[in-house]
Amino acid sequence: MSTFNPKGPIAETQLDLFYLTVWVTGFIFVVVGGVFVVAIVKFRERPNDNRPMPSQGHGNPLIEIGLIGASVLLLVIIAVPTLQAIWYTHDTPMNEYSKLGNWYSGEELSKDAEDEVLIIRVIGYQWWWEFEYPQLGINTANEMVIPAGKAVHLELRSVDVIHSFWLPRIAGKVDLIPGRANAMWIQAGDDFDRWALKNEIDTANGNEVELQAVYKTYLEEEIHDYYYGQCAEFCGDSHARMLFRATVVGDDEFAEWVESARVGHTAPAGKSWDAWYDTYDQEPESLVTDLDKGAKIFMGRGKCIACHAVEGNPRALGVAGPNLTNVGERLSIAAGWLNHHTEDDVLIEDEQYDNFVRWIKETDVVKPGNRMWKANGNGIGELLDPDDSEKIKLLTDNEIHYLALYLQSLK
C-alpha cells in the first residue's frame, strides 16, 4: 500500500507534490537551522571572552523585505504546482482512450455511455464498500475491477457515517459523506500518450501498431495487479477492518468480468431457479447434494437473502449487505479483512472455505459491531420466538459447512 510506489497518474502527481514540498521545506530547514547553528557556535560565550557585545540592531528594512520576498517566492513555488494538481485531479479527463465506446468490448452499452468514461458509484457502509457500475448494470462489493490505462470516474457516497476512499498506489483520498455526492477520478497505469511522453517515444513515427503492442505489454506486466485499499476516515468499531481491493485488468478481461457479473448464477447443478424453487417449495427434503443443502440454508434458515443479492437468483434481492454475485471468485471476504490468496494473487480454496466458516460462525469476533444478521445478537440462525432467547436455532457446524461450500460455488 506504499504511496512511494505509484501506479497511476493521480498517485504520481500526488507523490511529485509531496517531494516538491519536502525539498522546499527541507531547504528552509537547512538554511534557517544552518544560520542558527552558526550563530550559537560563533557567538557563544567563551572563557575569558573579552569581545564587546555585538551591536544590537532593530529593524532592518532590507533584511525584512528580503525575507518576506523569499517566503513569498517559496510559497509560490509550492502553490503553483499544488493548484495545478488540484485542478488535474479534480476534472475527470475525457480523452479518447478512456471513452467506453472506444475500448469496452462487451454488449449492451447505451449511446450516452459510449461517449463517457467508466463510472463507478462507490458507496460506503459500516463496514464495507459497494461498487455499482451504472452504465453496465452491475453491482459488486469490496473488490472493484477496473480497466488498465483508462480514466474511471468515481461518485462517492455514504449511507451512514463519513468514510474515506484511499487506494494508495493509484489515488487517494476523498471522503464519502452522507447526503452528499463527492467525485474523483482514478486511473491505473498511464494512457498511451502519457506513457509515450514519459518514455520519450516519438509517436509520430508511423510505427503506431508496434508501439501499441509495447504499450499493451507495459499495461499487462506493470499495471495488471491486485491493489489494496483502505477506509481512511475513522468510522466506528471496525474502521480498521474496512478494506477494499481493486483488480486492474485488460480490456477483454474486463468485458468478461462484466458479462459474468451480469449473468450471475444458476441453481446448483446448472438447474434453472424456477425448477429449483418448485422443488424447494414442495419437497425440500429431496434436495440432497452439498450445494443444494447450502442453497437451502442460504434461502432459509441462514436468512442470507434478506440482505444479500445474487444475480440470477430471483429471490436473492437483499440490498442491506454486499452483493454476493461471484463472491466465490473474490480473493478476500469481510471487506478485505479475511484473505485467501497466494502472493501471486491465486485463490486458495482451503483458506477460502475456512474464512467463510469463520466469518459465518464468529462474525462479531472477525469484525466487531458488524451488522450481519444475528438472531437476538447470538449468531446466525432462526429466531423462533423473538421474546424468548431460548427459542433460537442457530446454524449448526454442519449447516455452516454446507453454506460455506455453497458460497464458494458462486463463481
Nearer to ligand CUA, 127 or 195 (CB): 127
Q: Which is nearer to ligand CUA, 143 or 233 (CB)?
A: 233
Q: How far, in Å, CA of 408 to CA of 349, rounded?
A: 8
Q: Which is nearer to ligand CUA, 151 or 242 (CB)?
A: 242
Range 20-30 burial, b when 16+ CB lie within 10 A, else e? beeeeeeeeee
d(CA 382, CA 59): 81
- 242 part of the interface to ligand CUA, by CB under 6 A: yes
Strands annotated E in 260-401: 332-333, 338-339, 381-383, 392-394
Shortest Å, Cβ 127 to ligand CUA? 6
Minimum separation from the CB atom of position 126 to ligand CUA (A)? 7
Residue 173 · residue 232 · CB < 8 Å: yes
Q: Which of 381, 236, 376, 357 is nearest to 306 (CA)?
A: 381
Take residue 349 and report the three cell numbers written for it.
480454496
| 3-state SS class at 108 | coil
Taking contact as CB under 6 A, which single stretch among the options 95-103, 112-120, 226-234, 306-314 is the one that binds ligand CUA?
A: 226-234
CA pair distance 121, 117, nearest whole angstrom: 13
Q: Dihedrals φ, ψ of 157, to 5°?
A: -135, 165
Distance, CA of 234 to CA of 164 (rounded, Å): 8
Least Cβ distance, residue 163 to ligand CUA (angstroms): 3
For the CB of residue 239, give the shortest distance to ligand CUA in the complex, in Å: 4
- Contacting ligand CUA within 352-371 (CB under 6 A): none
Taking the C-alpha atoms of residue 127 and residue 237, their distance in angstroms, rounded to an integer, is 9
User: Which of 7, 99, 153, 163 is in the footprint of ligand CUA by CB under 6 A?
Assistant: 163
Contacting range for ligand CUA; rule: CB under 6 A; set: 146-154, 190-198, 229-237, 402-410? 229-237
Task: Please say which residue, 21 or 182, places its beta carbon nearer to ligand CUA.
Answer: 182
Residue 231 touches ligand CUA, criterion: CB under 6 A: yes
If the CB atoms of residues 190 and 233 are measured against ligand CUA, the closer one turns out to be: 233
The alpha carbon torsion through 292, 298, 301, 305 (nearest 10 deg) reads: -140
Q: Considering the complex, what minimum distance in angstroms separates the CB of residue 143 from ligand CUA?
A: 16
Q: How far is the CB of 369 from ligand CUA (least distance, A)?
A: 12
CA-CA distances (angstroms) from residue 9 to 71, 92, 144, 328? Answer: 30, 12, 19, 32
Whole-angstrom distance, CA of residue 78 vs CA of residue 25: 10
Would you count residue 308 as binding ligand CUA (CB under 6 A)?
no
CB closer to ligand CUA, 127 vs 192? 127
Q: Which is nearer to ligand CUA, 156 or 211 (CB)?
A: 156
Cβ 303 vs Cβ 360: under 8 Å: no
Q: Which of 150, 239, 296, 303 binds ligand CUA (CB under 6 A)?
A: 239
Residues in region 106-125 near ligand CUA by CB under 6 A:
124
- Among the listed residues 146, 154, 235, 334, the single contact to ligand CUA using CB under 6 A: 235
Three cell numbers, residue 168: 494508495
CB-nearer residue toward ligand CUA: 245 or 303: 245
Is 234 near ligand CUA (CB under 6 A)? yes
In single-letter form, the type of residue at position 106 comes to G
Tell the smallest beta-carbon distance from residue 233 to ligand CUA (Å). Answer: 5
CB nearer to ligand CUA: pick between 211 and 231: 231
Q: Which residues contact 37 (CB under 8 A, 6 or more apart)?
A: none
Name which of 75, 234, 248 is nearest 167 in CA terms. 248
CB of 180 to ligand CUA, least distance (A): 15
Pairing of strands 163-167, 138-141: unpaired
Residue 130 found at the interface with ligand CUA (CB under 6 A): no
Nearer to ligand CUA, 166 or 402 (CB): 166
- In the complex, the smallest distance separating the C-beta of residue 214 from ligand CUA, rounded to whole angstroms, is 40
Work out whether 157 is an interface residue with ligand CUA (CB under 6 A): no
- Return d(Cα 1, Cα 3) in angstroms, integer: 6
Site of interaction with ligand CUA (CB under 6 A): 124, 127, 163, 231, 233-235, 239, 242
